[in-house]
């Protein structure tokens, strides 16, 4: 019974507050319990604070919408229900409030984009003696994606890889891996151990060791080279070596001394050595330079296979090879993204044609 009377009392109060207010303002017994003057909008811009300071919850946006209705905003003192009080203030948002809100939404969207991607570069700039090799570069690579990067000599392709791998520190801009790992705060060794493998243009294999031992040495991790060569019995390790030899088309060459491989095979071996470290992202700089046509085509197949289980960024000038990859292409020029999309779209882009013909 006591409960009923409390409910009744609250209902009565609500009714009182719902009734049209005459000249006399309602008593300052605000149902919400907040400051009695929250209904007042002295500068008409108060929705800003509500919107700008609200956390991730949606009501901030809801509170703005009623204000866009001129009917509500023109009659602020009539028929004010508790429901509209909750969604108040019913006035048009101040332009500054709208700007803050848009900024907040944009920054939330950026944060989301960053968290959902594998590699996120935004506004990255790097100068060498005043020359901007990378200039406000923004690029996003999705998890599991393979991306081809093209662009004329000096476009900044290798410098971009240097920045991602911690070899070069950008002057400004954001470089994030896996959402929240700020790569600009880590050195090369740390970045490699986080799962970013990089293949330089020139193959660097242990020339006097066999193909199989090259891969075994790369699998070694923290073990010493001697331990890696002596400790050969691990079945899981054997399986991994077999898988890598197969992927890199080197099974039949496993016992060959690496120094005796063709240039293309050395490139594949180096890719295999990177795979041994199980990177989540593989960066490959001009892998088919100097390869035969057959090796080039095989390399495209090989990379496509690798990209089934990890992300790959390939820099290459050979357009036939890029076409074989069949992936999204980004064209860099003077340190920025000039064009992005399918190879057909990018190569038909007048800006791209101009920079290629103009060199």
Ligand X SMILES: Nc1ncnc2c1ncn2[C@@H]1O[C@H](COP(=O)(O)OP(=O)(O)OP(=O)(O)O)[C@@H](O)[C@H]1O
Q: Could you say which of ligand X, Mg ion, none residue 94 binds, taking C-beta under 5 to 8 angstroms by partner kind?
A: none
Determine, following the binding rule CB under 6 A, whether residue 273 of this chain makes contact with ligand X: no
Examine residue 57 and tell whether it contacts ligand X (CB under 6 A).
Answer: no
Instruction: Candidates 70-78, 83-91, 156-164, 211-219: pick the segment binding ligand X (CB under 6 A).
Output: 156-164
Q: Minimum Å distance from CB 126 to ligand X?
A: 8
Under the criterion CB under 6 A, does residue 274 sit at the interface with ligand X?
A: no
Residue 159's binding partner, choosing from Mg ion, ligand X, none, with beta-carbon cut-off 5 to 8 A by kind? ligand X
Q: What is the 3-state secondary structure (H, E, C) of 128-183?
A: ECCEEEEEEEEEEEECCCEEEEECCCCCCHHHHHHHHCCCCCCCEEEEEECCCEEH
148 forms part of the interface with ligand X (CB under 6 A):
no
| Nearest CA among 306, 346, 357, 351 for reference residue 322 | 346
Q: Which is nearer to Mg ion, 90 or 313 (CB)?
A: 313
Q: How far, in Å, CA of 281 to CA of 330, rounded? A: 17
- When the beta carbons of 72 and 296 are compared against ligand X, the nearer one is 296
Check binding of 267 to ligand X (CB under 6 A). no
Distance between CA atoms of residues 92 and 94, nearest Å? 6
290 lines the binding site for ligand X (CB under 6 A): no
Tokens standing for 25?
């303002």
Q: Does the protein bind ligand X through residue 130 (CB under 6 A)?
A: no
As a whole number of angstroms, the distance between CA 126 and CA 157 comes to 12
Burial of 235 (0-12, 13-18, 19+ CB in 10 A): exposed
Residue 159 lies near ligand X (rule: CB under 6 A): yes
Residue in 277, 284, 270, 272 with CA at minimum distance from that of residue 243 = 272
Out of 4, 5, 57, 153, name the contact with ligand X by CB under 6 A: 153
Given ligand X, Mg ion, none, residue 153, with its beta carbon under 5 to 8 Å by kind, binds: ligand X
Binding site for Mg ion (CB under 5 A): 157-158
**Given the complex with ligand X, which of 159 and 339 has the nearer CB atom?**
159
DSSP characters over 283-314: EEESTTTT--HHHHHHHHHHHHHHTTTSEEEE
Nearer to Mg ion, 132 or 240 (CB): 132
78 lies in the binding site for ligand X (CB under 6 A): no
Which one, of 127, 115, 121, lies nearest residue 184 by Cα?
121
Shortest separation between residue 285's beta carbon and ligand X, angstroms: 7
Q: Per CB under 6 A, does 66 bind ligand X?
A: no
Q: Using DSSP bridges, classify how beta strands 336-341 and 328-333 pair: parallel, antiparallel or unpaired.
A: antiparallel
Q: Provide the minimum distance between the beta carbon of 282 and Mg ion in the complex, in angstroms, as a whole number.
A: 16
Query: Residue 158 interacts with ligand X (CB under 6 A)?
Result: yes
Which parts of this chain interact with ligand X (CB under 6 A)?
A: 128, 133, 151, 153-159
């Amino acid at each position: 019974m006591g409960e009923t009377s409390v409910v009744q009392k609250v209902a009565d109060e609500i009714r009182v507050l719902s009734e049209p207010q005459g000249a006399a303002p309602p008593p300052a017994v605000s149902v919400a319990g907040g400051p009695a003057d929250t209904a007042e909008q002295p500068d008409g811009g108060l929705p800003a604070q509500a919107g700008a300071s609200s956390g991730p919850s949606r009501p901030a946006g809801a509170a703005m919408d009623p204000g866009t209705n001129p009917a509500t905003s023109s009659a602020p003192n009539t028929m004010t229900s508790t429901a509209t009080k909750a969604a108040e203030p019913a006035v048009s948002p101040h332009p500054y409030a709208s700007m803050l809100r848009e900024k907040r939404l944009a920054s939330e969207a950026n944060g989301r984009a960053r968290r959902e991607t594998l590699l996120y570069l935004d506004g990255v700039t790097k100068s060498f003696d005043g020359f901007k090799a990378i200039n406000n570069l923004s690029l996003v690579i999705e998890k599991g994606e393979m991306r081809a990067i093209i662009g004329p000599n000096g476009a900044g392709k290798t410098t971009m890889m240097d920045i991602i791998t911690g070899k070069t520190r950008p002057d400004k801009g954001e470089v994030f891996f896996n959402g929240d790992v700020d790569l600009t705060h880590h050195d090369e060794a740390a970045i490699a151990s986080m799962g970013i493998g990089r293949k330089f243009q020139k193959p660097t294999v242990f020339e006097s060791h066999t193909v199989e031992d090259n891969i075994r040495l790369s699998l070694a991790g923290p073990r010493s080279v001697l331990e890696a060569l002596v400790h050969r019995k691990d079945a899981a390790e054997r399986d991994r070596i077999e898988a890598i030899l197969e992927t890199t088309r080197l099974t039949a060459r496993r016992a060959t001394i690496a120094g005796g491989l063709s240039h293309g095979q050395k490139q594949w071996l180096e890719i295999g050595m990177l795979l041994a470290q199980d990177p989540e992202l593989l960066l490959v700089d001009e892998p088919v330079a100097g390869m035969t046509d057959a090796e080039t085509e095989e390399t495209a197949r090989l990379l496509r296979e690798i990209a089934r289980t990890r992300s790959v960024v390939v820099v290459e000038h050979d357009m036939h090879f890029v076409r074989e990859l069949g992936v999204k292409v980004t064209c860099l020029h003077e340190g920025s993204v000039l064009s992005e999309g399918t190879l057909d779209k990018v190569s038909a882009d007048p800006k791209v044609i101009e920079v290629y013909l103009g060199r």
